[in-house]
Structures are given as structure tokens and as C-alpha cells.
């Protein structure tokens, strides 16, 4: 008889956020597969849990997944955990989960804390429809390309970002998204939790005086104005303002501010579309 793979969410900071069910599962399983056993040992020790463990950190995920699958086929129950949050969601774990699906292993989700859901809930921005983007590429060119591709998305946009890239990413967002509303949540559920809300340009300025440390969640307002206005409408407004005597830069600035668009992106668009 095959074993069961439990995908267990663990606290993203405050250890009190673990669920009673997660604790029970971690105590009952035969093996715990952890992203980093040294990190997870702190959590397990805190709750008096002692179980055999195997690591599946990123560089070893493929090889270790095969070993874990062998244990599951032998009938052992396994709890899959990451350093924080839910395995497979912007964290390692997807390789093992996909193998379990392919080999008909029963997979049981044990839900719990989620950094981006927690951040979204306190952002003050629309949460009915959103797109979770995870971590953006570390390379500036790739990052700007992705941001440009989603710049007209109507839904609220949610990102994770590392401390060493947060300032560059926010500046890229300011250039591409324009001056939309944004929330930046630092170290959510941890001692130094902080939530910044305002326009992108406001937050860029505020971040210059802040100590950059820990993990960040960035929540960006979607292009809600485009529910009733297409890019053709926007370009038409620029064209009309130019006919009234405004220069291209002045017309673009006026319309970009009205719709919360990037002046540079809109200016480039106008050069291609408006003679």
C-alpha cells in the first residue's frame, strides 16, 4: 500500500500561526521532507516534535525527490514542508508534488499561513481579483520586460521581492506602471513587520530612509481605469490635446497622470501611433 504525501504549510514568521492540524500531521507522519532541515528543526523543536527528516533544498530537489518517492511507495507517510509558507508556492516542493501526481500517490493539503494573502488582506487595495507573480527575475532587462507585459493588467498585482533588489524593482515599477497606489509589506508576522501604503513614487522616497532587510511583499493597484477606456481612447485624448496646441510631452504627461500610466511608456507609444 502506498503512503500519503501531506503538503503542510508552516509559519511565515510568528510560530503561533501554525495550525493544530499541521502539528498533528507533523507528529504522526513517518518522515518529514524539509527544504532546509536546520531551519525546520527550530520549528519542530519548539513544538516538541522529533521525526526522521530529509532535506530537499533547491540544488538537491530532483535527487532527493526520488528518494522521498521511494519511501512513499514503501508505504511511509511523508510531510512536505518549506522554510516558511506553503511548499511549491514560490518555494521548492513542486518537483516532488508533480512526481507524486504522476505516480498516483495520494496528496493531502494542510493549509496555513501565506505571506502574499496576509499582505493582500491589509494592503487596502482591491482583493477580489488579483494576479500573484511571485519573484520577478533578478536581471533588470527581464524584470522590465515582464513588468511592461503586465502594465495594462486590470487586476491587483502581487509580488515577492528580496531586500537586495527591492529598491531597483520599485523604481522599475514607477517608470513602467506610473504613479499607481501600492503597498509594500516587510517581514510580515515577524517582529519588524512594517506596512507602507501610498503612491509608488511616495514609497520609493520613503524606502530611501528605511533600513532594507528581510523579505518583502509588493501589492500594486491594477489598471482599473482601463475597464472603460482602451489604449485607443487614451491615444485619442493625447491627439486631441496636441491639436489644441499642447506639445507632445505636455499632452502625454497630462493623460498619463489622469490614467496612472507611465509617462515614458505612453510617450513611446504616442511616437509610434500619433504622427
pLDDT at 21 over 50: yes
CA dist., res. 249 & res. 13, Å (int): 47
Name the phi and psi angles at 73, rounded to 5: -70, -20
- The pLDDT of residue 188: 95
What's the half-sphere exposure (Cβ side, CA atoms, 13 Å) at 39? 15
- Rounded to the nearest integer, the mean pLDDT of the chain is 91
- The pLDDT of residue 230: 67
Question: Per residue in 103-118, pLDDT tens?
Answer: 999 999 999 999 999 9
More confident of the two residues 224 and 208: 208
Q: For the chain, what percent of residues have pLDDT higher than 70?
A: 97
Cβ neighbors of 174 (< 8 A, separation 6 or more) are: 200, 201, 204, 262
Question: Per residue in 152-182, pLDDT tens?
Answer: 788 999 999 999 999 999 999 998 888 889 9
Cβ neighbors of 71 (< 8 A, separation 6 or more) are: 3, 30, 31, 78
Residue 156 parent element (H or E): strand 156-161
Task: State the pLDDT confidence band at 204, using cuts at 50, 70 and 90.
Answer: very high
Q: What is the pTM of this model?
A: 0.79
Task: State the pLDDT confidence band at 227, using cuts at 50, 70 and 90.
Answer: very low
Cβ neighbors of 252 (< 8 A, separation 6 or more) are: 238, 263, 266, 267, 270
Which ranges of the chain does DSSP label H, i.e. alpha helix? 20-28, 37-46, 61-73, 94-102, 115-121, 140-149, 166-177, 200-207, 231-243, 248-259, 263-273
Strand partners, 111: none
- The pLDDT of residue 229: 56
CA dist., res. 156 & res. 94, Å (int): 25
Amino acid at each position: 500500500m502506498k503512503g500519503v504525501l501531506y503538503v503542510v504549510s508552516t509559519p511565515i514568521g510568528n510560530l503561533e500561526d501554525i495550525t493544530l492540524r499541521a502539528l498533528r500531521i507533523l507528529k504522526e507522519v513517518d518522515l518529514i521532507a524539509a527544504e532546509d532541515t536546520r531551519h525546520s528543526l527550530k520549528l519542530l523543536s519548539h513544538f516538541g516534535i522529533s521525526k526522521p527528516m530529509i532535506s530537499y533544498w533547491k540544488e538537491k530537489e530532483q535527487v532527493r525527490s526520488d528518494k522521498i518517492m521511494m519511501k512513499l511507495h514503501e508505504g511511509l507517510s511523508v510531510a512536505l514542508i518549506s522554510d516558511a509558507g506553503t511548499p511549491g508556492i514560490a518555494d521548492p516542493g513542486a518537483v516532488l508534488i508533480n512526481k507524486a501526481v504522476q505516480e498516483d500517490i495520494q496528496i493531502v493539503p494542510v493549509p496555513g499561513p501565506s505571506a502574499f494573502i496576509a499582505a493582500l488582506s491589509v494592503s487596502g487595495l482591491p482583493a477580489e481579483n488579483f494576479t500573484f507573480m511571485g519573484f520577478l527575475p533578478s536581471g533588470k532587462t527581464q524584470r522590465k520586460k515582464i513588468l511592461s507585459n503586465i502594465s495594462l493588467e486590470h487586476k491587483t498585482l502581487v509580488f515577492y521581492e528580496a531586500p537586495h533588489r527591492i529598491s531597483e524593482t520599485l523604481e522599475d515599477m514607477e517608470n513602467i506602471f506610473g504613479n499607481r497606489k501600492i503597498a509594500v509589506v516587510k517581514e510580515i508576522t515577524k517582529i519588524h513587520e512594517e506596512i507602507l501604503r501610498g503612491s509608488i513614487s511616495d514609497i520609493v522616497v520613503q524606502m530611501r530612509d528605511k533600513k532594507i532587510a528581510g523579505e518583502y511583499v509588493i501589492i500594486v493597484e491594477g489598471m482599473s481605469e482601463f475597464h472603460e477606456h482602451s489604449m485607443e481612447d487614451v491615444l485619442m485624448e493625447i491627439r486631441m490635446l496636441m491639436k489644441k496646441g499642447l506639445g507632445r510631452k505636455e499632452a502625454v504627461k497630462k493623460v498619463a497622470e489622469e490614467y496612472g500610466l507611465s509617462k515614458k511608456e505612453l510617450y513611446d507609444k504616442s511616437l509610434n501611433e500619433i504622427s
